[in-house]
Structure 1
Amino acid sequence: MQTYPLTTRYTWCIAIIILSLIPGLFTTLMEPDAALYAGIAKQIVWRNDWVNLFADGTDWLDKPHLPFWISALSFKIFGISTFAYKLPAFLCWLSGARFTYLFARHFYGTATAQIAALIYLTALHAIISSNDVRAEPYLTCFLVAASWYLVQSLRSAWYIIPAALFTAFALMTKGPFVLITIGSGLLLHWTIQKDWRQFLQWKWYVYLLLAAVFTLPEIWCLYLQFDAHPEKVIYGQQGVSGIRFFLWESQFGRFFNTGPIKGHGDPFFFLHTLLWAFLPWSLLFYLALFQRLRKLRKGVEWITLGASLCTLLLFSFSGFQLPHYLNILFPYFSILLAAWLIDLPLKKAMITQRVIALLMVVLLLAITLLFRPHYWIAYVIVSAAALTGWWLLRSPDDIIKVSMLGSVCVAIFINLFFYPTLLDYQGGSVAAEWKNRQFPGEIVHFYRSNSQAFEFYADAQVERRDTSFKKKELVFTGRAGRQALDLAGKEYKEEAVFSSYPVTRLDGQFINPATRHEGLDTVWLLRVNALYSNK
């Protein structure tokens, strides 16, 4: 077994990672998802309504309530802001590292647990998601916490209570499919260990019952908003059951492409997505997974393998696929990899990790030189320091530290340089900040346009006027809306104009300053001065 001198400096490694991520807590929210979810939580606070979820001016049925309740509670404490939205998700993500550590330590010891936690914290898409916050930081924590407490329940039945509570939290974050992730690992573990008596233990059935009871607040809220009001039009239909949507269509309907939200799945999507999403660890993870599958009866535990493979297969054969779905499996991936890495002769693995770290640093430097974010010279200096560190970290015992080097560079790059510059081109948030300064407290009307970022950052309610305007209303619109006003011959005053770009869908044209203007759209704040009827 490797001694890993890193373990004596574990706290410093954790501190460096956290410090590199803290600036992201203040970076403007991105459209569509992060700004949308923050806007839903904002409506909870402004309406003082913790039962009904609203988005884009209407009832919203897609995700369960818990992440919005947590964000709304944070807004109540800290005020409505970017920081208040991101902080609880960030703390949950860090708590996921703690539960990853505890799980790994239980089966493999302290050194493996430290490595697993560091792998979890430095995975590329986890770093991105700690800034562009959706539901995954919450769900990741709740799943690994439930798995940890279920492991503890093997020796004391009382642990089924926190296990059931975290399972309910996961259910109220994403839906019933989370039971597959939590349960498949235990089922595989008991099957390979031939521990058949576990299937007859009463505590597991009590655990499921408690998890169902703890989930009742979600069921009740869905009933009140949707099932009790069949007259509401949801997804173009009346009589939509929120409870049915939660229990089936929200997740399994997407997986089997039978729900109202459909996609076009690729069975290999997550296999190649994992190559970049789990950097700098992805190549080693594939090797670790292959080795574990070769030695099915020689492992210490099979919970992590069962949770990883079953969920990954479910995702791969689903009709709806997005890269951030993988994040919830990072604790299990990290434990699997750390358990394999701790016994591995490190020379060849070190070569792999040094190459990956070098490529990450060099690629970020190349993007910096091309994109020219604010204060880009400062990041060139950071890159020079990183390359110096990379050159010095050549001992096989430095494999964790050299891998961390690439991830920390990513965190510094996106949180201090790239995202702050990129979001200057998010027209909705920029327009809202301008409006708040120039016309504080004034209501704005969306016309033939929509912006979740504008709605979140505006200091007053936003209304939608697709039929008529009163005199002298402040209107947010895009090209289609302005053209409609022009064709109608109506008078308006241009208060402000902003460049706009869908910042989560980058391409080479935008990255290159010489061609960036070619891909930009435009949004306006207009003062409509006359009655206008769209007939």
Structure 2
Amino acid sequence: MMKTYPATAMFRWCVGIIILSLIPGLFTTLMEPDAALYAGIAKQIVWRNDWVNLFADGKDWLDKPHFPFWAGALSFKIFGVNTFAYKLPAFLCWLLGARFTYLFARHFYGEGTAQIAALVYLTALHAIISSNDVRAEPYLTCFLIAASWYLAKAMGNVWNIVPAAFFTGLAMMTKGPFVLIPIGSGMLLHWAMRKDWKQLVQWRWYAYLVLSAVFVLPEIWCLYLQFDARPDKTIFDRQGVSGIRFFLWDSQFGRFFNTGPIKGKGDLFFFLHTLLWAFLPWSLLLYAAIFQRFRRLRAGVEWITLGAGIFTLLVFSLSRFQLPHYLNILFPYFSVLLAAWLFELAGTKKIFITQRVISLIVVILLAVITVLFRPPFWWVYMVISAIAVVVWSRLKKREDVVRVSVLAGVCAGIFLNVFFYPALVTYQGGSTTAGWKNKKFPGEKVNFYRINSYSFEFYSDAPVQRVDSASGLVYTGREGLASLEENNVPYKTEAVFPNYRVTRLDGKFVNRATRARELDSVWVLRIRD
């Protein structure tokens, strides 16, 4: 059995290349709806100089906890209100998540497994996507694996419960108390499989829970001030809504059980088939690693990763509210679990062939999309693809399984962040129109008429207002334009821009030959008195 893979000898180079492929994404226009919405909320904190109350759509906003918005607002204070400033803290947290994934794996399995785990984490497809289309997940992913690592260390040194509680508190102020499910299920399975029942009566774990509650008090206090102390506010079309109750139950558990104000429709197998593409190029190996771990229930060194990953995945699957990026928070656990299995096998023929085929498919598929989409300088990516195929052809040893997989991840990072996303967002009408408006009518307020655009609101250099009666400078879509014409409201067309919901792609839009038929339009109008 080999002690390491050749990729680990180039570990720093691999990490550096991956990060370089992602840095251009820090400057790519924010996409609607979520990333632009969250950036807009952070922008309101800065504009209003109010770090307690969250606002969106021109009114009080109750959905996600404060921490991601505080991080974005603080970055705006330092770097100004712009794309880079919003994405930077999340990107740094995502990289820190790789560090904690590495430390966790090294703690239980050693250096070689730790390096592979970090590379798996950094090259998983949806993690690459989320490092560009920033929501709350980059923060939450980092905080969860950090809390798990410090809890693992706390079994030996009690003082590690303090940083464990700190990161747990940050996780709760990012997504809510639901985060205790992956953290707790991992630890409980670990103790159960080791028959270490005495841990259940150790005072340190109860002290950890108390400390976690202390660290989350800033969130509770802000929710109290904005909502519980103001029962006269109308939230979710009713008064007397408790922000604290929403945080503790309705925000996450209410969604899982479909009893909260925000409801969804569930598919029991959604996350199982989503994981197939979201964790590329590692997904098939992950399924195999999980299967093998279940086959040898007494062979594992640690059970935190399996408990956190599988139990949380089960909870997600049973819930009614399901989105692909929910899986990202489990990637550190899956990365460690997979890395431990890969390092143990040290490069079998079947694994190598599987990864070699998947990696080639990824490289070819990205090249095909490039030809169809035709972003600026698309031929440059074709040259990169050709180089990748040459490198792929030289990785012929079984031990090259990590290198060949990293190759596919790097290609995905370059494709998305350098070529695809920068071209894609030019079809996002809101941000494009805001850029034009800032040059044509700098500082002038705009009224949204029968339309909403979080990207326009974020990139506009002046506040926007949502109105029922059009006046002044108006941003609108087809519905609003039809209403103005039906009511004989006089207007002047200042500009028309193509518009497409870029986070919901289909083949007809991606294909340059059929794209024009998929585009909608947005208008900037001047209402005449």
Residue 370 (structure 2) aligns with = 368
- Pick aligned residue for 1:379 from 375, 381, 384: 381
Residue 533 (structure 1) aligns with = none
Residue 419 (structure 1) aligns with = 421
Distance across 2 between alignment mates of 1:340 and 1:84: 38
Residue 486 (structure 1) aligns with = 485
Distance across 2 between alignment mates of 1:507 and 1:104: 38
Residue 299 (structure 2) aligns with = 298
Checking the alignment, whether the CA contact within 8 Å between 2:228 and 2:242 is kept in structure 1 is: yes
Residue 500 (structure 1) aligns with = 499
1:475 is paired with a residue whose SS is: strand
Distance across 2 between alignment mates of 1:370 and 1:515: 10
Checking the alignment, whether the CA contact within 8 Å between 2:430 and 2:456 is kept in structure 1 is: yes
1:380 is paired with a residue whose SS is: helix
Distance across 2 between alignment mates of 1:361 and 1:60: 42
Residue 222 (structure 2) aligns with = 221
Checking the alignment, whether the CA contact within 8 Å between 2:263 and 2:320 is kept in structure 1 is: yes
Q: Is 1:39 matched up with 2:40?
A: yes
Checking the alignment, whether the CA contact within 8 Å between 2:449 and 2:470 is kept in structure 1 is: no
- Give the drift of 1:468: 5.2
1:166-315 mapped onto 2 (5 Å cutoff) = 166-315=167-316
Q: Is 1:447 matched up with 2:449?
A: yes
Runs of 4+ in 1 over 3 A off after TM superposition: none
Per mean C-alpha deviation after superposition, the further-off stretch among 269-278 and 338-347 is 338-347
Checking the alignment, whether the CA contact within 8 Å between 2:470 and 2:527 is kept in structure 1 is: no
Residue 120 (structure 2) aligns with = 119
- Give the drift of 1:397: 1.6
1:342 is paired with a residue whose SS is: helix
Residue 526 (structure 1) aligns with = 525
Distance across 2 between alignment mates of 1:187 and 1:402: 36
- Give the drift of 1:52: 0.5
Distance across 2 between alignment mates of 1:427 and 1:15: 35
Q: For residues 506 and 468 of structure 1, do their structure 2 counterparts lie closer, same or farther at Cα, with a shift above 3 Å needed?
A: closer
1:57-136 mapped onto 2 (5 Å cutoff) = 57-136=58-137
1:177 is paired with a residue whose SS is: helix
Per mean C-alpha deviation after superposition, the further-off stretch among 426-435 and 187-196 is 187-196
2:10 is paired with a residue whose SS is: helix
Distance across 2 between alignment mates of 1:371 and 1:117: 32
Q: Deviations over 1:172-211 (max 9, x none)?
A: 0001110011011111111111111111111110100010
Distance across 2 between alignment mates of 1:165 and 1:214: 6
- Give the drift of 1:31: 0.2
Residue 349 (structure 1) aligns with = 351
Counterpart residue identity of residue 142, structure 1: F
Q: Deviations over 1:90-119 (max 9, x none)?
A: 000000000000000011000000000000
Residue 456 (structure 1) aligns with = 458
Distance across 2 between alignment mates of 1:8 and 1:226: 54
Checking the alignment, whether the CA contact within 8 Å between 2:447 and 2:470 is kept in structure 1 is: no
Identity across matched positions, percent = 71
2:268 is paired with a residue whose SS is: coil
Distance across 2 between alignment mates of 1:179 and 1:19: 34
Counterpart residue identity of residue 432, structure 2: V
Q: For residues 414 and 488 of structure 1, do their structure 2 counterparts lie closer, same or farther at Cα, with a shift above 3 Å needed?
A: same
Distance across 2 between alignment mates of 1:448 and 1:117: 46
- Pick aligned residue for 1:401 from 395, 403, 406: 403
- Give the drift of 1:384: 0.6
Counterpart residue identity of residue 319, structure 1: R
- Give the drift of 1:346: 2.2
- Give the drift of 1:508: 1.3
Distance across 2 between alignment mates of 1:178 and 1:98: 20
Distance across 2 between alignment mates of 1:515 and 1:102: 48
Distance across 2 between alignment mates of 1:450 and 1:224: 28
2:132 is paired with a residue whose SS is: coil
Residue 339 (structure 1) aligns with = 340
Q: Deviations over 1:489-531 (max 9, x none)?
A: 121111111000000011111112222111111101111112x
1:495 is paired with a residue whose SS is: strand
Distance across 1 between alignment mates of 2:158 and 2:76: 37
Distance across 2 between alignment mates of 1:203 and 1:467: 60
TM-score (norm 2): 0.99
Counterpart residue identity of residue 474, structure 2: V
Distance across 2 between alignment mates of 1:318 and 1:468: 41
Residue 514 (structure 1) aligns with = 513
- Give the drift of 1:8: 1.7
Gaps of 5+ in 2: none
Q: Deviations over 1:302-352 (max 9, x none)?
A: 011100111000000001000100000000000000000012142111100
- Give the drift of 1:256: 0.6
Checking the alignment, whether the CA contact within 8 Å between 2:102 and 2:114 is kept in structure 1 is: yes
The total of aligned residue pairs comes to 527
Gaps of 5+ in 1: 531-535
Distance across 1 between alignment mates of 2:289 and 2:350: 14
Counterpart residue identity of residue 181, structure 1: P
Distance across 2 between alignment mates of 1:343 and 1:156: 28
Checking the alignment, whether the CA contact within 8 Å between 2:147 and 2:164 is kept in structure 1 is: yes
